[in-house]
């Protein structure tokens, strides 16, 4: 892992990146919107850094699609 960044992030780290609560990140993981894995016991969840970037890109795409759709209906 040459980048020096961790491959897997704790939900608290993801929450900090997204500027949301840890509960919101947990809900995203549980719903499948954000891909994560459970390691060990006791609800230890981790999100791979590339999965977080993919989630962010998908959210931007949804916004772009929604904006394009609303522009077409206004015309």
How does pLDDT run across 16-33, given as a tens digit for each residue? Answer: 999 999 999 999 999 999
pLDDT tens-digit readout, 30-64: 999 999 999 987 879 999 999 999 999 999 999 98
Predicted pLDDT of residue 68 = 80
Number of Cβ atoms within 10 Å of the Cβ of 46: 19
Residue 26 tokens, joined: 């947990």
Predicted pLDDT of residue 29 = 97
Q: Which CATH number among 3.90.1580, 2.40.128, 1.10.10, 1.10.150 corresponds to the domain 8-74?
A: 1.10.10
Query: Count of alpha carbons within 13 Å of 12, Cβ hemisphere only?
Result: 2
Q: Which residue has the tokens 């904006």?
A: 67
Would the pTM count as exceeding 0.75? yes
The full set of domain ranges for the chain reads 8-74
Task: Work out the end-to-end distance of the chain between its first and last CA atoms, rounded to an integer number of angstroms.
Answer: 50
């Amino acid at each position: 892992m040459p980048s020096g960044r961790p491959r897997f992030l704790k939900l608290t780290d993801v929450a900090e990146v997204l500027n949301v609560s840890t509960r919101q990140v947990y809900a995203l993981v549980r719903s499948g919107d954000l891909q994560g894995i459970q390691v060990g016991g006791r609800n230890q969840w981790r999100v791979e850094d590339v999965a977080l970037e993919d989630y962010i890109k998908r959210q931007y795409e949804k916004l772009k699609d929604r904006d394009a759709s609303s522009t077409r209906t206004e015309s």
